[in-house]
Each structure stands twice: as C-alpha cells, then as structure tokens.
C-alpha cells in the first residue's frame, strides 16, 4: 500500500519551476522506510566513518551570510526577497551583464542555491554540482543514482537534498563527501533548516510522499512526525517556532516546530503544492484551486483570497519594495500577478506565453523572473520590463539573488549576471568575470 501511495505522489510540476520527474518506487527496505529508520550507505571514504553532528560542527564553516541564498526561496520564511541585494536598482539594472555561463552536462532539474562562495545546482540524471560563484567552475560533482527534483538546502557545512527514490541525503558542502542518507518516501519536498547555536539542536523539516511532515536532526535521526491525509509536495516554511506547509489532502497546516503538534489547519478546494511564505504575521500560499490565500499566521483565519484563471504552483515573493508590502506570484494562466499584501487587490499583472511556474525573486524595487525563454527584471511598482536577457532555451530555474549576481538556468546551462565591480556598493561583492569560461 505504501508503494502505491508513493507512486501516486507524482505531479505535473511544482510552484518553483522545479520540474517533477517520475517518482520511482523506494526500493531500499520499504519496511524500514515506513518505520522511519535511517538507512546509512557506505561513506565515500570507507576507512573514515561519517562524523556526528557534534564532530562535524568542529569543522563547519560559518552560517550563511545575508548575501547568500542557502535554501529554496532564500530563507526559512521563503519570502524570495533578500534584504542585502541592493546594488542592482531600477536605474542600474540595464547594465547587468553576463559574468559567466557553465555547462552542467545535463539540464537543470531544480533551482540552484548559493552559500559560502559556492553554487549548488541539481541536474538531470541525479547529479548535484558545486560551482565556484566567482567563475562558474565546477568544484565537485556528486552522482545520486536517482533524479533530484527539488532545490537543496545548505546549513552547518552540509548540503541537504532529496531524491526521487525517496532519500534525504547530506553531503559535506566543501568536499561533496557523503555524510549520511535516509530513506522514507522523501523527494516530494525541499528541506527547510532551522540552525541553532549548537549543531545538535539544528533541525531539518520536510514533507514526504507518504503524507508525513517530519523533523530530523543533523545526523538524519527523526525527532517527530505529523501525518497528513495525502502526499506533501509543498516545501515547508518556518517562522519562529511554527512550521507552515501545504498538502495534496487539500489543507494548509501550521505545526509546532518543536513537537509537531497541530496548531491549525485550513481547507482548500484542491491540493496545495506551493510553498507558503510567512511575513508580518501573515501566511501567503497559492493552491491548485487557482486561489491565492492570505491567512493569519497565529490563528489560520482568512484575511483575503484572490482567484486567478489557473492553478498556482509558483512560490510567491513578498516584500516592501514599493512603499508598502506586495505579493508577487505566477499562475498557470500565464500571468505574473502583483497583489496588495493587506487586502489582496491586484496592483498589476503581466502576461506571458506559457504558464508561470517559475518563482519570482524580489530586491531593490525589482521583480526577477524566468519566463518563456528569458530572464527578466520587472519594475516592482508597475510591472514594466527594466531588463531582459534571452536564454539558450526555456527558463527552467527560478532566479537566485546572491552577492550581487542573478543566478538562473536554461536547459543544461547555468548563468550568472552581475554589474561590473566598480558599480557595486561596499556591501555587495561581485567577483571578476570568468575569462576562461564560455562566452555568449
């Protein structure tokens, strides 16, 4: 029965422009997966056992800075709006230029993340690549043996990611060495991490195709589990001690992040695969019922809803870029919407040829979006195009904004666009272009 439920977890796409590949049935010890027992494979160097969270903490680099993009939608609250990306403005954005491009060897299968001078990009065929942010050169590759369909997360010196055969894996972020893996129906959700002062107190949260929402420690040990009534293809958001996540059982849940206890739930009229966004005591999340929901983060009461003409699989970007807070989200009706965050009225909308499943990013009065075969920066107040660049093919990855660079992908090519170093403020660092790399 578990295998049947897992197989039914396949969906056509996700809110983050992370393409779903067909899930494969979890093969390694289904009984252990149902009991949530970690299955640890052999380390990359058999003579050296994987370190514990305490041991690994001694060689762990500093936490990601505000200029990094270490997990899906930038941070645990999933706003897609980094506060430190200030060098690029509506006046300077037209001077964004390609710094480098890198051939990944296979098409990107999910948006990249960035931390500590590295970019981590999933590619078709089950490859996770670590690239130098300054040059685009590949530092290491890790072959998972199964497709990766969601963005990884970087925390405590580890790269955490799920695979379509049900595994959650942890690698050393510097070397790519495998630390552990755990099989329990994962692969349908991108992890969110709550880092603590002590590595032993750090927690990883994610959903599974079996319909559970789980909390684990840095060694992959389960600390609690909550059972929903359908596959969890939404990536959780975390604010304070509350975890927010949607499910294909047509509900949005708020759970106590310390215990997994249900705080509230809200019913929708279709499944929720979109990632919630939490800001100013409000949760914003789209549903496949073509509705954008704004909910009180404490009680779950509905503040407003707004219908579109298509399912919402895109993650929203939320921020105060226009003098007041706005919500930017794409719909399968081929439209990017800007809603007023307080009452939900439409401020503007932009139409594209294809469904907008890419998730926008927001900074410096600009909305960055991959749509059709281009990456673009739109004026956050009006929706007018301020900058655009055609890519090698359809935009397959939502943009990440990190250290003055716009990172996005098309097919097997990963791009970095940035201003020239002389135009960057002291708080934004852009490395020299990769003179040895590929050029347009």
The C-alpha atoms of residue 386 and residue 271 are separated, in whole angstroms, by 35
Residue-level pLDDT at 61: 46
What is the per-residue pLDDT across 153-164, written as a single tens digit (0 to 9) for each?
999 999 999 999
The string of DSSP codes covering 354-393 is: S---SPPEEETTEEEEEETTEEEEEETTT--EEEEEE-SS
- The chain-wide mean pLDDT, for the chain, equals 84
Residue-level pLDDT at 421: 61
What is the per-residue pLDDT across 385-409, written as a single tens digit (0 to 9) for each?
999 999 988 887 899 999 999 999 9
Q: Return the number of other C-beta atoms located less than 10 Å from residue 405's C-beta.
A: 30
- The phi and psi torsions of 56 (rounded to 5 degrees) equal -65, -30
Distances (CA, A) of 264 to 242, 246, 261, 269, 318: 11, 12, 9, 17, 23
pLDDT surpasses 70 at 382? yes
Q: How confident is the model at residue 37 (pLDDT cuts 50, 70, 90)?
A: very low
CB 194 within 8 A of CB 242: no
DSSP E strands: which ranges in 287-373?
291-296, 302-307, 317-319, 326-331, 335-340, 346-351, 361-363, 366-371
For residues 421-430, average pLDDT:
42
Sheet holding 192-194, edge to edge: 192-194, 203-207, 212-216, 222-227
3-state helix, strand, coil in the chain (%, to 5): 5, 40, 55
Residue-level pLDDT at 2: 41
The C-alpha atoms of residue 434 and residue 100 are separated, in whole angstroms, by 6
Residue-level pLDDT at 322: 64
Q: Which residue has the higher pLDDT, 103 or 15?
A: 103
Q: 46 CB contacts (<8 Å, ≥6 apart)?
A: none
pLDDT surpasses 50 at 1? no
Among candidate residues 208, 305, 141, 148, the one with its CA nearest the CA of residue 5: 208
Query: 276: number of CA atoms within 13 Å, CB side?
Result: 33
What is the per-residue pLDDT across 198-218, written as a single tens digit (0 to 9) for each?
888 999 999 999 999 999 999
Residue-level pLDDT at 436: 32
Q: Provide the 3-class DSSP secondary structure of residue 319.
A: strand
CB 288 within 8 A of CB 270: yes
Q: Which residue has the higher pLDDT, 32 or 365?
A: 365
């Amino acid at each position: 029965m578990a295998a049947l439920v897992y197989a039914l977890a396949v969906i056509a796409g996700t809110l983050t422009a992370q393409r779903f590949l067909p899930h494969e049935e979890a093969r390694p010890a289904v009984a252990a997966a149902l009991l949530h027992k970690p299955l640890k494979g052999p380390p990359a160097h058999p003579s050296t056992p994987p370190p514990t969270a305490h041991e690994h903490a001694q060689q762990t680099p500093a936490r990601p800075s505000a200029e990094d993009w270490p997990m899906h939608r930038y941070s645990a609250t999933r706003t897609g709006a980094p506060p430190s990306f200030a060098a690029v403005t509506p006046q300077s954005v037209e001077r964004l230029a390609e710094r480098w491009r890198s051939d990944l060897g296979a098409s990107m299968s999910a948006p990249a993340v960035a931390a500590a001078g590295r970019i981590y990009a999933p590619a078709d065929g089950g490859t996770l690549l670590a690239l130098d942010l300054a040059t685009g050169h590949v530092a290491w590759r890790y072959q998972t043996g199964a497709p990766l369909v969601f963005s990884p997360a970087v925390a405590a010196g580890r790269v955490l990611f799920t695979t379509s055969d049900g595994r959650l894996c942890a690698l050393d972020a510097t070397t790519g060495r495998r630390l552990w893996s755990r099989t329990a129906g994962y692969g349908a959700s991108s992890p969110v991490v709550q880092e603590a002062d002590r590595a032993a107190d750090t927690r990883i949260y994610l959903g599974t195709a079996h319909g559970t929402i789980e909390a684990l420690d840095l060694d992959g040990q389960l600390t609690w589990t909550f059972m929903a009534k359908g596959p969890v293809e939404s990536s959780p958001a975390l604010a304070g001690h509350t975890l927010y996540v949607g499910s294909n059982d047509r509900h949005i849940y708020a759970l106590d992040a310390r215990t997994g206890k249900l705080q509230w739930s809200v019913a929708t009229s279709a499944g929720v695969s979109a990632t919630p966004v939490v800001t100013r005591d409000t949760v914003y999340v789209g549903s496949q019922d073509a509705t954008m929901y704004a909910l009180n983060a404490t009680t779950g009461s509905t503040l407003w809803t707004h219908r579109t003409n298509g399912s919402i699989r895109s993650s929203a970007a939320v921020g105060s870029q226009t003098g007041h807070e706005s919500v930017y989200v794409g719909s399968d009706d081929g439209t990017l919407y800007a809603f007023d965050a307080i009452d939900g009225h439409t401020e503007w909308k932009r139409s594209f040829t294809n469904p907008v499943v890419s998730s926008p990013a927001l900074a410096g009065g600009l909305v960055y979006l991959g749509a059709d075969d281009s990456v673009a920066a739109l004026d956050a107040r009006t929706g007018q195009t301020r900058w655009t660049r055609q890519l090698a093919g359809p935009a397959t990855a939502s943009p990440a904004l990190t250290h003055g660079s716009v990172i996005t992908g098309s097919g097997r090519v990963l791009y970095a666009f940035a201003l020239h170093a002389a135009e960057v403020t002291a708080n934004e660092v852009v490395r020299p272009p990769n003179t040895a790399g590929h050029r347009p």
